[in-house]
């Protein structure tokens, strides 16, 4: 099993969800997050004072997938989250040791 | 001059003023969190712009000497800037003209703000302000003249100054603005929806109301202010105001119950949004009728409006109109229900002293009500559509899609309504800001 974590632009979430739904992905975790990468922050002027805004808001999406599906899901996330502009975000894939479905106690691929 | 009446009208003017910020909160809570500030700002803009326009030429256009004696428009420059009214003798023997100027100013401001609920999340702010000014000038001020400017008569009953055609020639009953305020704003809202189109992603993905407690707070302020709106329209502190006050209470109460009942039957659960929408629907419908019906009549009109509007707001999804916050479904439909039902429920024992169909009066009043309602609807719809269409074709009214995605608050106002935690946002040059820039931070991580 793999855990796919994507940090994407907030307004791309719906597109990502739709593309994964087409692949049969049945669940995900979505969170509003703040941070920065190469895009860094920006300077804002508010009421005449200049503010350094070091972090920007993004959305983090986490999806558990079978090993065999990982590549397809990764490609779907990347293509649906891409606008081509700075700040499109990142996706990474990590191996998962075990998964348990709380209600039934099912483990492994059964629980994904 | 009557000090009691003067005090009442001035207090009522302040009550009606409070309705516009109340409306802003009512609407603001209903949009997604990324659009709350723009929603508030559209109402605030009306307080700014229409307040100034009213003093410059709005009052004069609505209540100046009738141009040509046909009841369509007051002379807009007669009282320009109100200069000629300062120090002049008051025409009314009960309240100062300036008390009436103040009271009516709040109506103009509120009516413009009402429209904004139809275009949530997608109207550029600058064009909205232009629209507000043009609409107030070309639509509201004339229609206020039609409906609110009464003939002045001398002691022997001869007309010394002609007023608006709906109030006098037609003699439709619109006590506090079912036509001039609610049908008028509702028709303009419909025109804006037609010109601007739906929000991107509507009806899916435009979000539920982000803060219902804010909506309830706004509805509470609206109801509170509405006592000034309706009972203040008596322009005197007496029996009429008191009857209207009770009708305003019970009309809204009955409408709230009716809306919740419709929801309970159709969808299983009464909702908070439904309850407050019912309150507003009832207030809208009782506005034209509050001087013409008994409290039982007010209950009937309120219940009809609550149920009628609850059903009407479901139509927008079927008809594919993104009337975002139900300005058409509540204000246009509620305004029509109230204005027309006067023809049925008007009672001779009520202050207006006219009998409707259910009180042995025949259909005479009903057709007067219908003509007034249709006239305001058509005029407002056509003019509003033209103004909005011209703005869209020339400077662009609609926000672009990227702006909508990012959120209209950020795009149009460079602010966000809710800022939880201030991670990474520091004032440049402040002590906190000198701790280190992003570049240094990144360097230290590497």
The pLDDT tens digits for B54-110 are: 999 999 999 999 999 899 999 999 999 999 999 887 777 799 999 999 999 999 999
Chain B residues 199-228 with CB within 8 Å of chain A: 201, 205
Answer for the pair B435, B63: CB distance below 8 angstroms, yes or no: no
pLDDT in tens, B134-147: 999 999 999 999 99
3-class secondary-structure state, position A101: coil
Answer for the pair B195, B397: CB distance below 8 angstroms, yes or no: yes
> For position B435, what pLDDT does the model report?
44
For residue B425, pLDDT over 70 is answered with no
Distance CA B384, CA A72 (A): 51
CB contact under 8 A, B424 and A36: yes
Answer for the pair B327, B117: CB distance below 8 angstroms, yes or no: yes
Structural domain A2-111, CATH architecture = 2-Layer Sandwich (3.30)
Token readout for B129 is: 């302000």
Could you say which of B423, B427, B429 has the minimum Cβ distance to residue A55? B423
> For position B402, what pLDDT does the model report?
86
> Closest Cα partner for B194 from B426, B433, B398?
B398
Region B297-324 average pLDDT: 95
Question: Which chain A positions have a beta carbon within 8 Å of B442's beta carbon?
Answer: 40
Each domain of chain A, given as residue ranges in start order, spans: 2-111
The mean pLDDT of chain B is 93
CB contact under 8 A, B425 and A14: no
Q: How far is B196 from chain A (nearest CA, A)?
A: 21
Per-residue pLDDT of chain A (112 residues; tens, 9 = 90+): 999 999 999 888 989 999 999 999 989 999 989 888 876 767 777 777 877 777 888 999 999 999 999 999 999 999 999 988 888 999 999 999 999 999 999 998 888 8
> For position B349, what pLDDT does the model report?
95
What H or E segment, with its residue span, contains residue B159?
A: strand B159-161
Distance CA B228, CA A94 (A): 64
Bigger pLDDT: B427 or B258?
B258
> For position B207, what pLDDT does the model report?
74
CB contact under 8 A, B201 and A14: yes
Token readout for A76 is: 């779907």
DSSP 8-class letter at B122: T
């Amino acid at each position: 099993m793999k855990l796919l974590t994507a940090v994407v632009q907030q307004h791309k979430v719906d597109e990502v969800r739709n593309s994964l739904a087409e692949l049969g992905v049945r669940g995900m975790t979505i969170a509003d997050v703040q941070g920065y990468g190469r895009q860094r922050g920006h300077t804002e002027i508010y009421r005449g004072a200049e503010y350094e805004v070091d972090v920007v808001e993004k959305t983090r999406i986490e999806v558990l997938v079978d090993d065999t599906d990982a590549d397809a899901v990764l490609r779907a996330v990347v293509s649906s989250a891409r606008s081509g502009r700075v700040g499109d975000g990142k996706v990474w894939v990590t191996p998962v040791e075990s998964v348990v479905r709380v209600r039934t106690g099912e483990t492994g691929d059964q629980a994904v | 001059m009557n000090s009691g009446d003067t005090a009442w009208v001035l207090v009522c003017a302040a009550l009606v003023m409070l309705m516009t910020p109340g409306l802003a909160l009512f609407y603001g809570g209903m949009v997604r969190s990324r659009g709350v500030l723009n929603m508030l700002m559209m109402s605030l803009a009306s307080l700014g712009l229409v307040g100034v326009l009213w003093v410059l030429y709005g009052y004069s256009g609505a209540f100046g000497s009738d141009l040509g004696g046909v009841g369509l428009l007051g002379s807009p420059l007669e009282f320009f800037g109100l200069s000629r009214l300062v120090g002049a003798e008051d025409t009314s023997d009960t309240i100062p003209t300036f008390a009436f100027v103040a009271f009516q100013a709040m109506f103009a401001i509120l009516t413009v703000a009402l429209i904004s609920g139809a275009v949530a999340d997608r109207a550029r702010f600058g064009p909205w302000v232009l629209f507000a000014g043009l609409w107030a000038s070309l639509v509201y001020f004339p229609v206020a003249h039609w409906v609110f400017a009464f003939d002045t008569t001398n002691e022997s009953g001869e007309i010394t100054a002609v007023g608006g055609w709906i109030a006098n020639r037609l003699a439709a009953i619109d006590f506090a603005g079912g036509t001039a305020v609610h049908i008028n704003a509702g028709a303009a809202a419909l025109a804006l929806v037609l010109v601007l189109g739906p929000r991107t992603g509507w009806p899916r993905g435009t979000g539920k109301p982000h803060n219902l407690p804010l909506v309830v707070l706004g509805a509470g302020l609206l109801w509170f202010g509405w006592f000034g709106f309706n009972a203040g329209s008596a322009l005197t502190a007496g029996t009429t105001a008191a009857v209207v006050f009770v009708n305003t209470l019970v009309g809204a109460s009955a409408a709230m119950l009716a809306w919740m009942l419709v929801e309970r039957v159709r969808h299983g659960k009464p909702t908070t949004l439904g309850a407050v929408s019912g309150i507003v629907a009832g207030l809208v419908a009782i506005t034209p009728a509050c001087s013409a019906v008994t409290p039982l009549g007010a209950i009937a009109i309120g219940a009809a409006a609550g149920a009628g509007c609850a059903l009407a707001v479901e139509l927008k999804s079927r008809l594919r109109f993104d009337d975002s916050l139900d300005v058409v479904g509540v204000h246009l439909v509620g305004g029509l229900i109230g204005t027309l039902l006067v023809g049925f429920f008007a009672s001779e024992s009520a202050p207006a002293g006219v009998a409707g169909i259910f009180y042995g009066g025949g259909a005479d009043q009903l057709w007067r009500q219908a003509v007034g309602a249709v006239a305001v609807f058509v005029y407002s719809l056509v003019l509003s559509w033209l103004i909005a269409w011209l703005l869209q074709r020339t400077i662009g009214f609609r926000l672009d899609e990227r702006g909508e995605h990012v959120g209209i608050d950020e795009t149009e106002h460079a602010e966000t309504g809710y800022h939880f935690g201030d991670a990474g946002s520091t004032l440049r040059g402040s002590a906190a800001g000198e701790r280190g820039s992003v570049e240094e931070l990144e360097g230290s991580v590497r």
